[in-house]
Structure 1
Amino acid sequence: MDPTTRKIYHVHGYDSRQHLEDYLSNKSDMVFGEDFLKFPIENLAKTFTQGHINGDVLVDLSAGSFVHQLYAACEFFQHIIVLKVSDRCIMELKRWLDSRTGAFDWGHATKLHGEIQGNSDQFPDTEGKVRSTIPHVMKFDLEKENMTDPIVLPPADCIISVVLLDSICKDQDDYRRYLRKFSRMLKPGGHIMLIGALGITYFTVGKDKLHAFTYDEDFARKALVGEGFVIDYCKVQKRTNVSDLMDYKAMIFIAAHKEK
């Protein structure tokens, strides 16, 4: 596939609702649940419940209109600030935040989080907790020095980023450059959690095929260390499904902290 024919997530955008339906829905033919729902929820819950990552502000820098990566985080942070590059993703997420008719149903993911945490009987409360912890969903510009200009955000205690770097980077230099920008948003000693797809070259949303940055575990580790992070935990899970919607080989979860 010629990369020049593919769309670029932060340049061309995509149908954010279709993206959720294709990769994160509860439909019987949705094959990505193990990799895109269980893997992130399980590793985030494990990391947060260890108790050393908490604070006032968490910034979410994720592609799409995901919320499941915030289920565990909302128990450990007073405020979650969600940043998006796409107006369409913001509108889809706000539909869920405002509990509007037609919002994407995250009930299956919420229940899974409850089962992993061992409190599945309380899972409806999780969605309310996430909603109450998000004061702002904001658009940001990847190319600005201050990506939220003219607003200056408080330094974050933690950043979560799900497949955003995979979607926006064209090469290794881009990955390091954006990672450096993310790092500047953190307090000294702050934490970052990256969830990505290894060995990917494209992903499909509806009729659109989009570019994805190809990298491996070794590169991700070296990029973080090169930007002044200490890796605390890393987990790689081989792909568990068969689908031509995307061509990744494995999922990766990395938790690291910024050296003071």
Structure 2
Amino acid sequence: MSQADTSHAEITTPDSDSGRVAVALAYQRFEPRAYLRNNYMPPRGDLSSPEGVGPWKLRCLAQTFATGEVSGRSLIDIGSGPTVYQLLSACAHFEDITMTDFLEVNRQELELWLREEPGAFSWSGYSQHVCLIEGKGESWQEKERQLRARVKRILPIDVHQPQPLGAGSPAPLPADALVSAFCLEAVSPDLASFQRALRHITTLLRPGGHLLLIGALEESWYLAGEARLVVVPVSEKQVKKALEESGYEVRDLRTYTMPAHLRTGVDDVNGVFFAWAQKKVAEDV
């Protein structure tokens, strides 16, 4: 857990403080491999149908990066979890990528993949699918080599701290872009905490920079092995409002309704949202 400068701490209620402590404790039981099985292996990890949730997320990301507007030198992935698929389209557009997670077990899982260790979770199916969508003639092995080369560091993060990466972070700040998938709503005990966490990560982004945010719609819990994690249910309208109140122009906001055959009992999610938002540049006074 990264330490923030407490002199910049925000005023919070005892209830919200205790809620965040409870969330942090619950995550100590999080099992990365169980989470990956539940969400990134069949049926949810079946990429053969274009109607599936995996292809939908990959298309949203690929189409946004294909605009050429989301690019620069540095990108930070907020709350990476044990997954890398969210960066497969990003890695062609940024040479310095920082991955982050609150949990050491997730950071260790990412290290296994980056080092190509035996037993690392295989993302080759996702890499192949992204290459197919992008249509550049690139092999999935080239795609993975590029991503591994451009991830420069994996850092602890706490989105509930005003300085989520702590003081003196080795990540280049402010970043040109942020990506975050299934993080903010999954670690926030209430909507106010979700909104604060969004404001906190926004401090890591330069004015004019871009945020690509993926998350669960109307979900209140999910399973990761022994852990049953509480999620703050958010709607499309609430996501849009939170982004606007955090100083973003919402460029694109899409939603996906989870079909019946992908409601597998590992959560109560109704759907997924994808938001492309651009941090506003303050007008000269």
Q: Over residues 190-222 of structure 1, what are the superposed CA-to-partner deviations in whole Å (9 max), with x where a residue is unaligned?
A: 110110110101101123211011010000000
Worse overlay, 160-169 or 7-16: 7-16
Contact 1:198–1:252 at 8 Å: present in 2 too?
A: yes
1:256 equivalenced with 2:277 (yes/no): yes
**Structure 1, unpaired ranges of 5+:** none
Percent of residue pairs identical? 25
2:256 to 224, 234, 237: 237
The equivalent of 1:12 in structure 2 is 27
2:44 to 27, 31, 34: 31
AA aligned to 1:54 is S
Say which one has the larger Rg: 2
AA aligned to 2:144 is E
The equivalent of 1:199 in structure 2 is 218
Q: How many residues align?
A: 252
Write the mapping of 1:125-204 to structure 2, written as runs, cut at 5 A. 125-152=142-169, 153=171, 154-204=173-223
Contact 2:161–2:200 at 8 Å: present in 1 too?
A: no
1:122 equivalenced with 2:161 (yes/no): no
Change (3 A) 1:126 1:10: farther
Distance 1:35 1:192 in 2: 24
AA aligned to 1:18 is A
Distance 1:139 1:245 in 2: 26
Contact 1:155–1:185 at 8 Å: present in 2 too?
A: yes
Secondary structure of 1:147's counterpart equals coil
The equivalent of 1:216 in structure 2 is 235
Shift of 1:181: 0.6
Distance 1:106 1:253 in 2: 21
1:95 equivalenced with 2:142 (yes/no): no
Shift of 1:10: 7.0
Moved over 6 A (4+): none
Shift of 1:175: 1.1
Contact 2:99–2:155 at 8 Å: present in 1 too?
A: yes
Secondary structure of 2:139's counterpart equals helix
Distance 2:115 2:198 in 1: 31
**Structure 2, unpaired ranges of 5+:** 1-18
Shift of 1:36: 4.6
TM-score relative to the length of structure 2: 0.83
Q: Over residues 154-204 of structure 1, what are the superposed CA-to-partner deviations in whole Å (9 max), with x where a residue is unaligned?
A: 201110000101211111111110110111101011110110110101101
Change (3 A) 1:136 1:121: closer
AA aligned to 2:37 is E
Distance 1:254 1:121 in 2: 27
